[in-house]
Amino acid sequence: MKTIQKIRNIAIKKIQILGITLIILFFILFLNYSCRNTSEDKTVSKKQISIKEIERQNMQANLYIETNPKLALKIIDTSLFLSRKNKLIDSEIQALYIKGKCYRMLEQKNAAYANIISSLQLSVDNHNNWFRILNLIELAEIQFRKLNFKEADSVLNEAEYFARKNKYDNCLSAIYNNKAKIADNSGEKVKAIKLYLKTSELFVKEKNEKSLAIVYNNLALLYKSINQNSLALSYLNKSKLINERNQYLVGLAENYNNLGILFIGLDSMEKSKEAYIKSRKIYEKMGRSADMAKSYLNIGNIFFQNNDFINAEKYYDSSLLICIKHNIGFGIIINKINRGELYAKQGKHKKAIQLLNSELVKIKEMKLTDIEIEIESYLYGAYKSLREYDSALIHFENYSKLKDLTSGLELKKQINELQKKYNKAEQEAEIARLNVAIQKGKSKIRMIIITVLVILIIILFILFLLTLKNRKLLYRNELQKTEFEKTRLKLEMKNKELITNALHLASLTEFSNQFSEKVQEIMNKQTDSETKKSLSEILNEVNNVVPQGAWKDFETRFEQVHEGFSKKLFSDYPDLSSAELKICSFLRLNMTTKDIALLTHRSQRTIENQRNSIRKKMNLMTDSNLEGYLIKNY
């Protein structure tokens, strides 16, 4: 039996140990799981914070790209560092893309190209089709600025393919816009206008006013190049209106620049000069070197048109210096062409021919037809002035062919048809916009009514709360007044009690003194020792009528009622004597001079003199109310 019990006890102990072990293991596993989850939560939280910070910096950099690209570059460098540190590939792709745009705005084309290629490669590797398309569009813009028009067009075709494949229709407007620029610079005017009109329709649908203003500006330049100045002015004003309304400074500067070009064609030199100066000031403010160079060149052209060759040369020099400093190849070419035209106008025909011929080769390679026509015209004039008629005839024929090509009747007819189609589409879009505006107006009125009702309800609720608050304040004030009145009444009662006690003590003291004096007189007249002894005993009893320390008790009770009175008064006015402090105590009880004289066994005149002395020590006027001052302040 004992053996069975022993085995049972051992089994129970083993089960208990196993149970405790399992509980401990479960607790350890639970703690480990909790800690891991907490750690993971912290990691996720940190990652989320990093993503938000990167997104904020990317957004901020985007805002500064056009107005302050150097600042945008600093911001995006921080974003790129955080993206790589946290291994956020999509954020890194975006940061590299923005960085590339910053370098492009700073005319650092090689750095721009390197960053865009890096971003493009990452977006391809990680199947980020959105940024793949954006990078292709930006790459086309860089190639365009390098005057590699074929490469730019090829890149845009690739971007269009992926945009359509992935249904990113909102990218098509940017693609068509860039294709239009390439067509324009390649001399394909009709194709350029067609693409720009198509782009503007997309931007109107997207409500992308900034890009729409750029398209209108580019259309204006196209119409100017084919001598349709009224249409050019119309589109320039449309663009300018959008840019002024939204304070798009870059676009506004470009508008003024192109107005300057247009006014030259309309022989309005003063208006042209004024427009160029406005353009230059905006570019200077924004630190845009390439555009400043263009503005200086244009202002130089104004002086050139007015035969002011000295000032024209000065502005050409300023423009050329900026172009050389920032390695703006196309700007250098244009400056040299303008210098050649200047030499031709000054009669320095040999220098003009030498300079213009060297730049004509580059312009032909770039297929810049408008500039080529201008150079051919000046070369014809220069050779003719030197009587080299064979060369003059060649350049005149070249000029005529190019002129016919760009300003033929068929070209104008096609352009007019395109414009009519666009005007019709624009009118339909305007009707649709008006319908939307009417619906919006109705919705707006409904919203205003609802808003007004909500505001009224809020105001009524606030008024109710204020009324409730005021009632509470009034109730609290009433309670405070009641409490104050109770306190005042208690203080008055205590003061009356103190005065009564003081007067009682004073009368007892006076009675005791008077009686003692009379008993003393009788004692002095007596000769019988027994009688004197009896009278002496009576005198002692009379002297004990006023208890010893009675006045001390009075002072103690006074301090209990008017706590710290004497101490505070003496602290403020240390020159006061103990007798004056005592009189101040009686005055605090609002006692009269007569009562104080009775209490202190002094004449009323003496008390008045002491009151005057107290006033002087307190720097009070002689006619001031001493009792009121003590009651108010102590």
- Kindly state the average pLDDT of the residues 305-327: 85
- Higher model confidence: residue 192 or residue 284? 192
How many percent of the chain have pLDDT more than 90?
A: 10
Q: Scanning the structure block, which residue is given the tokens 């004990």?
A: 544
**Rounded to 5°, angle at Cα 425 from 186 and 431:** 145
pLDDT at 422: 52
pLDDT at 331 (0 to 100): 81
pLDDT at 306 exceeding the cut of 60: yes
The rounded radius of gyration (Å) of the Cα atoms in the chain is 52
Answer with the residue of higher pLDDT: 584 or 20.
Answer: 584
Long-range contacts of 164-172 (CB under 8 A, 24+ apart): 166/129, 166/130, 166/133, 168/129, 168/130, 168/133, 170/206, 171/133, 171/134, 171/137, 172/202
Q: How confident is the model at residue 172 (pLDDT cuts 50, 70, 90)?
A: confident
Q: Give the tens place of pLDDT for each residue, 53-62.
A: 888 888 888 8
Q: Is the pLDDT of residue 634 over 50?
A: yes
Give the confidence band of 550 by pLDDT, cuts at 50, 70, 90.
low
Q: pLDDT tier at 242 (50, 70, 90 boundaries)? A: very high
CB atoms within 10 A of CB 578: 9
296-320: average pLDDT:
85
Domains and CATH numbers, the chain: 53-166 (1.25.40.10), 562-633 (1.10.10)
Query: Residue 471 in contact with residue 508, Cβ under 8 Å?
Result: no
C-alpha to C-alpha distance for 315 and 335, rounded to whole angstroms: 10
Instruction: Tell me the pTM.
Output: 0.43
Q: Which among 274, 272, 312, 310 has a CA at the least distance from the CA of 296?
A: 312
| CA dist., res. 91 & res. 80, Å (int) | 8
Mean of pLDDT values over 538-562: 67
> What would the mean pLDDT of 556-571 be, rounded to a whole number?
79
Q: What is the largest CA-CA distance in the chain?
A: 176
Does 389 have pLDDT greater than 80?
A: yes
Q: What's the mean pLDDT in 179-203?
A: 86
Phi, psi of 408 (to 5 degrees): -70, 165
Residue 41 above 70 pLDDT? no
pLDDT at 438 over 70: no
Structure tokens at 20: 């405790």
pLDDT band at 30 (very low <50, low <70, confident <90, very high): very low
- Average per-residue pLDDT for the chain: 79
Give the pLDDT band of residue 624 (cuts 50, 70, 90): confident
Question: According to DSSP H, which parts of 386-408 are helical?
Answer: 389-407
The arithmetic mean of pLDDT across residues 470-489, rounded, is 79
| Ramachandran angles phi, psi of 413, nearest 5° | -60, -45
Query: Which pLDDT score, from 0 to 100, does residue 557 have?
Result: 74
What confidence tens digit (pLDDT) does each residue in 109-162 have?
889 999 999 999 999 999 999 999 999 999 999 988 888 888 999 999 999 999
At 158 the pLDDT is 93
Inform me whether the pLDDT recorded for 508 exceeds 60: yes
Instruction: Give the burial class of 537: count Cβ atoms within 10 A of its Cβ; 0-12 exposed, 13-18 middle, 19 or more buried.
Output: exposed
Average pLDDT over residues 439-460: 80
